[in-house]
Structure 1
């Protein structure tokens, strides 16, 4: 099966190569069927390496051209001046102004964000789980792109497949933590089934963060990873199903 990543008109209009890759089109089997690119998973390392090579090949490059961090749910951004040849520095976003570098992030419910300023020739990829989104990964990614010559008002950003509102139940204390940080965040929570439960709208919260950072235009692809097991890996679904592990998907962007 060939790779058929999800793309979005905002980024297509920016003239950059990008894709929110699904779990389809790889060589992994079992829990990891089939395009698992998670080096940290318990999948066969040879299969993961082949999957990463296929993904890089879709961009016209090799796995050495990938710039993807060892993700730690932080606000740390790395600038890639070349492909990392398999190195994975700690962080949760990568930005570049160098054609051929493939900036990528891994997710399995967290929100991937792909950003571009076509005029400046700067792109970036960020990994935003609730912790990173609350802690500033969006603002730090935008700032890192600015340092390379980009302007927030010229940027476009797309939030890719992630866990959606109806799938993301959290405790009431979770909402309190967000409200303590920023009172405006209350609107991203809805009542859960039980009085002490809430539903959290991660993609909407990330879009709000992009708006706060001054990004000119942003959108969500609209895909909920938990409810579509045929297309997406999901940490939450794996946990609910009692599975021992789960695969990871990559969302990536390149200047060409």
Structure 2
């Protein structure tokens, strides 16, 4: 489907997952063109709602997505039924055991991480920026799912790439301080010093997220290589444009 990037992972056939692209046939204009899915970024609310309606219709979603009020934290909300919430809960991850529930994560450089078990029964979705990764958002979601981590699959969707995410010592130190001891060396390797800019590093955020997932016991981890910063045709990027829209990553399952 034009304007939609399906998740590339060996999920069961009853699992549907992927991310919207800014090329989807939306109605937003200016820096939000054309398929902004975020109501909190300054776009016209009517345009955003129409974009969401069009995406839901194009994907033939079984229910309205569960939108979150994302705050770069570790809260996980469990959704038991479709239309189970009257307003967006404040959380950065969601899980569901229920067919037809559509989990939604909005991003524009942060990583969307989608999860399912091999039997296609339990789903999870995480909003993972560097703060969320450092604080333990990934671990919180995996633990809340209650499945054996070895039985889980993960798709790390498009986010800021390892050649676009420049960080200072504050971010590097915070990430390393939060790293599990057994993978601290691998975490250090995810930061490449910039010789021409002392005190700055290139940060491989997708790799850092994958390391956290592996430390939990997951082995089936699939990273989407696209970079939201450098691929301006398909993706919104807050770091690149500041004022911009949001993509949405969705995951749901059939019965």
TM-score normalised by the chain length of structure 1:
0.90
Cα displacement (A) at 1:42 = 0.9
| SS of alignment partner, residue 10 of structure 1 | coil
Alpha-carbon displacement from aligned partner over 1:191-224 (angstroms, at most 9, x marks no partner): 1231111111000001111111212300111010
**Would you say the 8 A contact 1:3–1:55 is kept in 2?**
no
- 2: CA distance between counterparts of 1:210 and 1:9? 17
* RMSD over equivalenced CA pairs, Å: 1.7
Using the TM superposition, give the Cα deviation of residue 48 of structure 1 relative to its aligned residue in structure 2, in angstroms: 0.4
Q: How does 1:79-90 map to 2 (within 5 A)?
A: 79-84=78-83, 87-90=87-90
Equivalent residue, structure 2, for 1:60: 60
1:172 aligned residue: 169
Kept in 2, the 8 Å contact 1:66–1:86? The answer is no
Structure 2 Cα separation of the partners of residues 11 and 33 of structure 1: 32
Shift of 1:172: 2.2
Runs of at least 4 residues off by over 4 Å:
11-14
Instruction: Determine the C-alpha separation between the residues in 2 that align with 1:125 and 1:57.
Output: 21
Partner of 1:36: 36
Distance in 1 of aligned mates of 2:167 and 2:31? 25
Q: Structure 1, residues 62-98: CA drift from partner, whole Å, max 9, x if none?
A: 7x62112100101111011223466211010111111
Uncovered stretches (5+) of structure 1, i.e. residues with no partner: 240-244
Provide the aligned length of Structure 1 versus Structure 2: 246
Which residue is 2:5 aligned to? Answer: 6
Contact 2:130–2:175 (CA under 8 A) maintained in structure 1: no
For 1:14 and 1:38, the matched residues in 2 are separated by 29
User: Displacement, 1:56?
Assistant: 2.3
| TM value normalised by structure 2 | 0.90
Deviation at 1:160, TM superposition (A): 0.5
Answer whether contact 2:7 2:157 (CA < 8 A) is retained.
Answer: no
- Among 226, 239, 242, the residue aligned to 1:236: 239
User: Can you list the C-alpha shifts for 1:85-143, whole angstroms capped at 9, x where unaligned?
Assistant: 66211010111111111101000000000111141601111100000011111111111
Q: Secondary structure in 2 aligned to 1:69?
A: coil
Q: Which structure: greater helix fraction? A: 1
